[in-house]
Amino acid sequence: MKVQLRPLFMAFVVALLCVMTAQAQTATDAQALTTSLSMLPEAEVIVYVNASRIVTDVAPRVLPPKELQEMRNMLEQVKAFTRIDLKDIEFMVIATRFSKPTGASMFPLPEAMFVTRGDFEVQPLLGMAMMMSEGKLREEQYGSHKINVIKLDEFAKDAAKNPFAAAFSEIAIAALDANTLAVGNTSYIKAALDAADGRGRIKAETVASILRDPTALISISGSPMMAFAKSFGLRMAENRDGQNNCMTQFGEFYASINMDAQNFKLTGAMNADNPDTARLMRNMLSGFFEQTKSSVPDKNAQTIFDEVKLIAEGSEVLVQANIPIDMAVKYVREMFAPPPKPIAVTTTEVKTQTPAKPKSTKPKRKK
């Protein structure tokens, strides 16, 4: 049997070119994502949400058919109203930062900001929000940028009595560029606009950490322990860039959730200053984890908790879990299942009869 080598060779070349093109496209997407996130302001904790993968890959495998169709209908309505298609979202990010104590507040609340970027135009959305606010959303000038600010009445009332509420008494909305929308505390939005101009941008190490797996469904990275230390005014949290010791990295962590053909994969790591501290942190987290699991009455949820493993390895505490998709589907679908109908209890009515009066035995009188 004579083998035709030329067609086989051509097929091999075409397949190789396809693989190389796919890899180049993936690398280009990852670089574009890194560039976009690098323009955000500094953050102590940042959460990255891959909305496109959640909508296209996770929802069809996890949600019951009825709820899946309802979700798709809702997304179509959102797309028709706002022209935003979640399948075309480049990223969604929630960022937080902490401030040092001031005379007005000894323990200020963290500031938060939500940022999204995708294949949509921000300015028409801002115009729509301005019309729907009925005059409550006012426009302010900040340098060469414009921001839209709305005062939250209830928080504004509480802010006069409680300084903790002051950070959330106003919410600002702004376009960081033509396709990036940011919503959050007014001061944090201004910092985001400064970062768009090149000032006070997020650290490259933070972006590299949050994107160590660009395909992750959800990932989170940050240094919350140092953030809390900063909010208490502790000196070790100040000038961290100028310090060269292990305390500058103590408590830094990363965690992500991803999915393959069989499992949801949870991976994470938290930095300690030495192996002994790592073992101590592992024991503390294990105790907290067990207490949380025991407080959850659902058996399926407890089964999922059992898949999570905490490991002390060197100066790190590692978190690992492989949760079968079938297990997650069972848990989610039971959440959406209608409650069982109460069993109707039929009661038989027992009628009590009044006993008949006994006949009188008294003799009748003769007439």
Confidence of residue 255 (pLDDT cuts 50, 70, 90): very high
Give residue-wise pLDDT tens across range 43-54: 989 999 999 899
Across 191-229, b (16+ Cβ under 10 Å) vs e yields bbbbbbeeeebbeeebbebbbebbebbbbbbbbbbbbbb
pTM of the model: 0.74
Residue type at position 190: K
Give residue-wise pLDDT tens across range 88-147: 888 899 999 887 665 555 556 778 999 999 988 898 888 888 888 878 888 999 999 999
Q: What are phi and psi of 301, to 5 degrees?
A: -65, -40
Mean of per-residue pLDDT scores for the chain: 78
Q: Which of 323, 328, 325 is closest to 308 using CA atoms? A: 323
The DSSP string of 180-246 is EEEEEEHHHHHHHHHHHTTSSBPPHHHHHHHTSSTT-SEEEEE-HHHHHHHHTT-GGGSSGGG--SG
Confidence of residue 173 (pLDDT cuts 50, 70, 90): very high
- Work out whether strand 111-118 and strand 45-49 pair parallel, antiparallel, or are unpaired: unpaired
Give residue-wise pLDDT tens across range 334-343: 777 777 666 6
Alpha-carbon distance of 287 to 281, in angstroms, equals: 10
State the pLDDT at residue 243.
47
3 state DSSP class of 334? helix
Confidence of residue 327 (pLDDT cuts 50, 70, 90): confident
State the pLDDT at residue 158.
57
